[in-house]
């Protein structure tokens, strides 16, 4: 069997895995929409009805679409989420065309910290980072398959960057990964010239959102604009306004104090310090393998340097937000996309040969199976770390009983225009 036919076979199997991820994620998204989750749905409904505020761009678009169409806002959000996530998955599948498959590549693609993250942690799917994933995947695919001029790529990067900044400002700290994609495709000098104006515009957008953090009055107006009622801040409220919209009134000092209290109670430093190792191991090993092959040393250096900048910047996100597993997941996905970009065709592959024989092959298969199925990266520390797919089975088995009272949320009168 030729290497080409083996690659096609692996890609077909991976296509089925992507279909599984897409199906399960869509089901989770449907369930979150049906109960009007304050985090999975409310995050996308923050808007400008109370004036300019951070994270309001997508919600303003949803609000305008809802008024124009009369469609329930929750289901508009769900449709946007699915569309964006499918674009991301399509980009991932496109990047496997000509991929030189290996054990590290397989571990990276099947890791519970990358594509399996949403599958294994149902309450935390379809957050706004999927906008970043789709944007980075689209940029890579356009760089590889389209012939855009520098000004066109700069305009595209500026558009993506500003949208991300106005939709969810923590994503700004992950933008070095997009610069890495451009630098991998062209010279460093040319890449800097392409990103200079997008960087300036993103900086302006960042300043704008930092100057408009939000307060209680704005949160109440935003909640009212989507048909909800804002409860008491800090009190658990499983409504569309009880998550991200309510937390708009939280100051940076309060956010950090909340993080530190949670870290002491839930042992977040040790939990995520340990889980970061398996989460980032495949990408780190892939970079080492790329570097050890002469033709890919430049690519490995670029990815390592940009990821170091992104990690340093994202420390602020860890400082102010409890979703530590979520922040690690974003790094893992971005690294996965960049590794796929440089592990295709005649480029050196981040892999050892996948065509092992005998006991070594079975040992590698067993190690890969254990790695991809037996652990979970929880998005937030308040959710107990589940043991992979077995833990997921236990969670889903008890879902009906634990959420029986929430199923009536779909019949609530709010969120309709």
> First and final CA of the chain: distance in angstroms?
59
Residue-by-residue pLDDT tens, the chain, 417 positions: 455 556 788 899 999 999 999 999 999 999 999 988 898 999 999 999 999 999 999 999 999 999 999 999 999 999 999 999 999 999 999 999 988 888 889 999 999 999 999 999 888 789 999 999 999 999 999 999 998 999 999 999 999 999 999 999 999 999 999 999 999 999 999 999 999 999 999 999 999 999 999 999 999 999 999 998 888 776 667 788 988 999 999 889 999 999 999 899 988 999 999 999 999 999 999 999 888 865 789 999 999 999 999 999 999 999 999 999 999 999 999 999 999 999 876 554 444 445 556 787 888 889 999 999 999 999 988 766 568 998 888 888 776 665 544 444 444 443 444
The DSSP symbol for 204 reads H
Rounded Cα–Cα distance for residues 293 and 349 (Å): 9
Q: Is the pTM of this model over 0.95?
A: no
Query: What is the full DSSP assignment across 343-395?
Result: SBTTSPPS--BS---HHHHHHHHHHHHHHHHS----SSTTSPPP-HHHHHHHH
Burial class (CB in 10 A: 0-12, 13-18, 19+), 151: exposed
């Amino acid at each position: 069997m030729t290497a080409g036919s083996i690659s096609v076979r692996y890609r077909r199997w991976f296509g089925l895995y992507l279909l599984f991820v897409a199906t399960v994620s869509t089901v989770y998204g449907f369930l979150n929409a049906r109960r009007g989750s304050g985090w999975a749905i409310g995050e996308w409904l923050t808007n400008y009805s109370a004036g300019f505020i951070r994270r309001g761009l997508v919600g303003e678009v949803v609000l305008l679409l809802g008024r124009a169409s009369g469609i329930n806002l929750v289901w508009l959000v769900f449709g946007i989420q699915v569309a964006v996530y499918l674009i991301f998955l399509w980009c991932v599948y496109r990047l496997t065309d000509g991929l030189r498959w290996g054990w590290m590549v397989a571990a990276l693609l099947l890791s519970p910290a990358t594509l399996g993250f949403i599958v294994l942690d149902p309450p935390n799917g379809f957050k706004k980072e999927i906008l970043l994933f789709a944007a980075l995947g689209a940029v890579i695919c356009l760089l590889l398959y389209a012939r855009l001029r520098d000004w066109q790529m700069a305009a595209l990067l500026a558009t993506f960057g500003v949208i991300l900044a106005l939709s969810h400002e923590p994503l700004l700290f992950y933008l070095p990964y997009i610069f890495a994609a451009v630098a991998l495709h062209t010279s460093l000098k040319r890449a800097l010239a392409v990103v200079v104006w997008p960087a300036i515009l993103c900086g302006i957008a960042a300043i704008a959102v930092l100057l408009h953090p939000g307060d209680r009055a704005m949160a109440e107006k935003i909640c009212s604009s989507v048909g909800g009622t804002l409860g008491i801040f800090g009190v658990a409220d499983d409504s569309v306004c009880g998550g991200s919209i309510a937390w708009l009134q939280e100051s940076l000092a309060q956010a950090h104090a909340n993080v530190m209290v949670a870290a002491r109670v839930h042992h977040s430093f040790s939990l995520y310090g340990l889980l970061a190792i398996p989460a980032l191991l495949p990408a780190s090993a892939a970079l080492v393998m790329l570097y050890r092959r002469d033709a890919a040393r430049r690519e490995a250096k670029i990815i390592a340097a940009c990821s170091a900048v992104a990690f340093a910047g994202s420390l602020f996100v860890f400082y102010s937000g409890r979703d530590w597993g979520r922040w690690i997941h974003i790094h893992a996905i971005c690294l996965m996309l960049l590794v796929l970009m440089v592990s295709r065709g005649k480029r050196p592959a981040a892999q050892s040969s996948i065509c092992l024989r005998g006991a070594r092959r079975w040992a590698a298969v067993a190690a890969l199976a254990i790695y991809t199925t037996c652990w979970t990266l929880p998005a937030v520390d308040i959710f107990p770390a589940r043991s992979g797919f077995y833990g997921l089975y236990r969670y889903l088995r008890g879902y009906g009983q634990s959420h029986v009272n929430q199923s009536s949320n779909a019949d609530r009168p709010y969120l309709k225009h």
